[in-house]
């Protein structure tokens, strides 16, 4: 239940801090997450200004460039927006990823993950399942506006059934805090139990 509690706490704290800034129009949008959600290795030689620009349709991309990457977003907030960085770090550290914590190393312009045992590694060395959870939690936290439509393809990618349930419950908790329409595709029976048969459409081969 720690993942759900952390999302609840972080959404409340986001409201208190006013982060992320609401888009100028205040309009909802369509947020699409394709089945391939990974964090690619990126390097930069200077801090990049990262802002949330309103788009009525936003598609998550696993990009190869430093600008626009999750690394760059962490580093910009740590450099220029301490309240936003505090929210982002609180959310990331609390995702129950086997005790892992996240910190910015200014010298190398990288986000380093510290394991429970004290070892460190870059973001892209997280398991594919951990990357899936981190990407969804942070991107939705940064971009979600009430009334939006969120589309997630193959939501269970690389996740153990126990984490599939946690992720589904996290999204339902987000819906209670920030009303939005959620549409996902999945092959995982565990997620059918989370979302309920009355909200599930089973597709069979024609």
Mean pLDDT by 10 residues, the chain (206 residues): 54 48 65 94 88 86 90 93 92 90 93 96 94 93 91 93 89 91 92 87 73
Which of 4, 12, 1, 39 is closest to 177 using CA atoms? 12
Q: What span, in angstroms and rounded, lies between the C-alpha atoms of 176 and 179?
A: 6
Phi-psi region at 96: left, alpha or beta (left = phi > 0; alpha = psi -120 to 50): left
Q: Where are the domains of the chain?
A: 2-199
21 secondary structure, DSSP code: P
Q: What span, in angstroms and rounded, lies between the C-alpha atoms of 110 and 23?
A: 27
In the CATH scheme, what is the code of domain 2-199?
A: 3.40.50
Beta bridge partners of 139: none
Q: What pLDDT is attached to residue 54? A: 81
Q: What pLDDT is attached to residue 21? A: 43
Tokens of 38: 């990974």
Identify the H or E element spanning 181. Answer: strand 181-184
Cβ atoms of residues 153 and 60 within 8 Å: no
Q: What pLDDT is attached to residue 204? A: 73
Q: What pLDDT is attached to residue 162? A: 85
pTM metric for this prediction: 0.84
């Amino acid at each position: 239940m720690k993942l759900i509690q952390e999302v609840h706490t972080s959404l409340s704290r986001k409201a208190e801090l006013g982060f992320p800034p609401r888009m100028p129009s205040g309009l909802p949008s369509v947020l699409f997450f394709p089945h391939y959600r990974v964090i690619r290795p990126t390097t930069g030689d200077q801090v990049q200004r990262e802002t949330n620009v309103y788009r009525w349709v936003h598609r998550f991309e696993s990009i190869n460039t430093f600008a626009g990457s999750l690394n760059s977003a962490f580093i910009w907030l740590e450099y220029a927006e301490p309240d936003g960085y505090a929210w982002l770090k609180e959310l990331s550290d609390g995702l129950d990823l086997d005790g892992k914590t996240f910190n910015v190393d200014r010298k190398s312009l990288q986000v380093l993950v510290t394991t429970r045992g004290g070892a460190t590694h870059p973001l892209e060395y997280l398991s594919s399942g951990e990357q899936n959870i981190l990407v969804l939690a942070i991107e939705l936290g940064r971009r979600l506006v009430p009334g939006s439509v969120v589309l997630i393809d193959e939501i269970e990618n690389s996740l153990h059934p126990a984490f599939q349930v946690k992720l589904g419950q996290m999204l339902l908790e987000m819906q209670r805090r920030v009303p939005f329409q959620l549409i996902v595709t999945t092959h995982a029976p565990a997620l059918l139990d989370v979302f309920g048969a009355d909200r599930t459409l089973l597709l069979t081969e024609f």
